Amino acid sequence: MEIRGGADGNTRSNYRDSNQTKTLRLEEQNRKLQQELLEERKNTNFTQTYPKGWERIRNLIQSNPGAA
């Protein structure tokens, strides 16, 4: 009869390795999220428009400069 996960220490070692791996993954995920937040903040003072919307804005300025 074979007993797995006994007192040989392998189970505890595997558990520790798995926790370290999970911690590293979470730290990497956190770094990526922080980087994404920084990228999003770069354009906070601007209104971003699609090309079609930008074309409409230019046409409006040409037809009614006071509206701009």
pLDDT tens track for 17-45: 788 899 999 999 999 999 988 887 776 77
User: CA-CA distance, 9 to 44, in Å (whole number)?
Assistant: 53
pLDDT at 67 over 80: no
46 within domain boundaries: yes
Domain assignment of residue 4, yes or no: no
Residue 56 sits at φ, ψ, to 5 deg, of: -65, -40
Residue of 5 and 35 predicted with greater confidence: 35
Q: For residue 60, give its domain range.
A: 10-67
Whether 32 maps to a domain, the answer reads yes
- CA atoms of 23 and 45, how far apart (whole Å): 36
Number of compact structural domains in the chain: 1
pLDDT for 4 beyond 60: no
Tell me: pLDDT of 62 over 80.
Answer: yes
The predicted model scores a pTM of 0.41
